[in-house]
Structure 1
Amino acid sequence: MTDELTLDEAQKAITAGMRAARSIDQPMNIAVVDSGGHLIAHVRMDGAIKASIDISIRKARTSILMNLPTSALAEATQPGAELYGLELTSGGMVTFGGGIPVVRNGVTVGAVGVSAGSVDQDVTVAEAVAAKLAKAPS
């Protein structure tokens, strides 16, 4: 058995995220990347803002590159803080909530990025996607 995320898993997890987004009545952009930050799957739900396509992918990439939820970077990247300017590196990182690493069997195997709602809504949907992906396939 491999710990790498598959397209099938990513699509099923995105479906779980779409259910979560519908339950809060907020269409979302949902991205899943592999352990190298490469896009596996993405969806823009009907009505989700187009600017959030790029943001969702960047949230997922930021999360895997930093091995942290993007929300953990918010305070440290404010003006005068230790990591101020981080968002300008690596092709543009996102330092607010909605990106979550996917850990399986103690190994970070990918990440999720969600955008188009409030930060809290993005995090809620990202958590649903990440929870589905964290379960190893049977």
Structure 2
Amino acid sequence: MNLELALRMCEVAVREARRLGALVSVAVVDGGGHLVAFQRMDGAGIAGPELAPAKAYTAVALRRDTAELAPLAVPGGELYGLPPRFACLPGGVPLWDADTVVGGVGVSGGSPEQDVACARLAASLWEDLR
């Protein structure tokens, strides 16, 4: 993951959010979960700057889309009790290179479906350019 690609991924997600009528924050992290790029649309909610990086981090750490995690994080679920840094909300997507997670993208601020659509579109840019 490099800054140029991460910024392009943010731009793709923001463009899709505009098309969908959502106001979002977008974060791209590297394979260690460290923030590489972040963008917040004018007027986006106050939670996005916390949740978008958390979704991206969670996708990297758990190696799966965060949209799959909510049922696993309920009491009695295999992920119940995760630390607060983890966000088991839709909108986080891991970025793969063969069998290695090399980064993640997180989107927050729209509906769950909008967040997922924006994150997946940004991830598709990664897949096309890697």
TM-score bracket, shorter-length normalisation: over 0.9
TM-score (norm. length: structure 2): 0.94
Structure 1 residue 28: Cα displacement? 0.7
SS at match of 2:129: coil
Query: What is the aligned partner in structure 1 of residue 49 from structure 2?
Result: 53
CA contact (8 A) 1:35 1:64 kept: yes
For residues 107 and 80 of structure 1, the distance between their equivalents in structure 2, rounded to whole angstroms, comes to 29
Partner of 1:99: 92
Cα deviation, residue 71, structure 1:
1.3
**TM-score, normalised with respect to structure 1:** 0.88
**Contact 1:63 1:69 (8 Å CA) reproduced:** yes
2: CA distance, partners of 1:95 / 1:101: 13
The sequence identity of aligned pairs, in percent, is: 38
Kindly state the Cα deviation for residue 80 of structure 1 after the two structures are TM-superposed.
2.5
1:111 aligned residue (81, 104, 107): 104
Q: Does 1:134 align with 2:127?
A: yes
- 1:1-138 correspondence to structure 2 within 5 Å: 5-86=1-82, 89=83, 92-137=85-130
Stretches of structure 1 lacking an aligned partner (at least 5 in a row): none
Cα distance in 2 for residues equivalent to 1:101 and 1:18: 18
> What CA RMSD, in Å, does the superposition of the two structures yield over aligned residues?
1.3
